Copies of this chain bind each other. A is one copy, B any other.
């Protein structure tokens, strides 16, 4: 159980702080398909550095999902103009360089790259690497950095950090939540944030379209192997019926895993042209990363996925065949 940072990480943090404080300008870049931890981390660090009168630019590598438009400072997120001189580049919540998509080119331009992340798969691609696989979220590491800089947690910064940590821990429910995570949450709540407002935005903000898709999709829920495997397929037809997009499938696979006998929950997303994206979650003992690797995919023991060119019917049959030995 993580209760504090290691000395090695603390040293990297101090090094990063020194470089940031002496920089000409700082760019902070998002990853593709940015989530709550990514955006919350960028906006809290960005606004904290701005409060030190540093020149900070926050770059998006992809569209910002509507779910996070409530974050204070979200209006800072902009596209890189392709020309700006980049002194320090900070990459947050990204296991490797490819995660920042189109902005990967900036890595070569930057005088110094700071890589802040909590993924076990991180490739240490930065000049300074603040990587802690035991941190619940990148937000947790950003909190430590901001505290180490002696910057007060404003309402704006606190809101972004709470969002980052709550998103990545499923509101303190996932295994990655540590005693330290709760200690940080306690400090954030003392910083006068409006927790109710944040939680309504994060967890009580499901659009009607998403709700409709959720209900429609669940009507076609299939169970296999004594109800240990639950599968739902999201076809283009289903999306049209609910006036929803693939982004709206969020939450479905978790709901499947919450069913008592279910050990493996699977969602099949049918994109155009026989392109199927598969996401798997397991509960207690099946290593879905192994199943995923069979299909040339990747992931974690409890959450993994892959993409194939196939049909829903075919991939379902292959998956069930593979699962036979694990379930």
A residues within 8 Å of B by Cβ?
Answer: 1, 3, 170-175, 177-183, 185-187, 189-190, 192, 195-196, 199-200, 203-208, 211, 214-215, 218-219, 221, 223, 227, 257-261, 283-284
**Given A172-B172, A219-B215, A219-B219, A284-B179 contact (CB < 8 Å):** no
Residues of B contacting A177 in the complex (Cβ-Cβ under 8 angstroms): 189, 195
A284 to B173, CA, bound (A): 24
Interface centre among A179, A205, A214 (most CB of B within 10 A): A179
Residues of B contacting A221 in the complex (Cβ-Cβ under 8 angstroms): 215
Q: Is the CB of A179 within 8 A of B189?
A: yes
How many Å from the CB of A200 to the closest CB on chain B? Answer: 6
Oligomeric state, in copies? 2
A179 to B185, CA, bound (A): 7
How many Å from the CB of A234 to the closest CB on chain B? Answer: 16
Interface centre among A1, A173, A196 (most CB of B within 10 A): A173
A207 to B227, CA, bound (A): 11
Residues of B contacting A190 in the complex (Cβ-Cβ under 8 angstroms): 1, 3, 179
Residues of B contacting A227 in the complex (Cβ-Cβ under 8 angstroms): 208
A203 to B258, CA, bound (A): 6
Question: Which 4 A-B pairs have CB atoms at the shortest separation, nearest pair first?
Answer: A182-B186, A179-B186, A179-B189, A182-B185
Q: Is the CB of A204 within 8 A of B172?
A: no
Residues of B contacting A3 in the complex (Cβ-Cβ under 8 angstroms): 190
- Cross-interface CB contact of A200 among B186, B189, B206, B284, cutoff 8 Å: B284
What residue of chain B has the Cβ atom nearest to residue A200's Cβ? B283
Q: Is the CB of B185 within 8 A of A258?
A: no
Q: Is the CB of B189 within 8 A of A178?
A: yes
Given A175-B195, A208-B223, 14 new contacts (CB under 8 A) = A1-B190, A3-B190, A171-B172, A172-B185, A179-B187, A179-B189, A182-B185, A204-B257, A205-B260, A206-B258, A207-B260, A208-B259, A211-B259, A215-B218
Residues of B contacting A182 in the complex (Cβ-Cβ under 8 angstroms): 182-183, 185-186, 189
A139 to B307, CA, bound (A): 45
Residues of B contacting A199 in the complex (Cβ-Cβ under 8 angstroms): 173-174
- Cross-interface CB contact of A186 among B180, B203, B259, cutoff 8 Å: B180
A187 to B284, CA, bound (A): 25
How many Å from the CB of A93 to the closest CB on chain B? Answer: 22
- Cross-interface CB contact of A203 among B173, B218, B223, cutoff 8 Å: B173
Q: Is the CB of A206 within 8 A of B259?
A: yes
How many Å from the CB of A244 to the closest CB on chain B? Answer: 13
How many Å from the CB of A147 to the closest CB on chain B? Answer: 16
The 20 sampled A-B contact pairs (Cβ below 8 Å) are: A170-B171, A171-B171, A173-B199, A178-B189, A181-B186, A182-B182, A182-B185, A183-B183, A200-B283, A203-B258, A204-B260, A206-B258, A207-B259, A208-B259, A214-B218, A215-B218, A215-B219, A215-B221, A218-B218, A219-B219
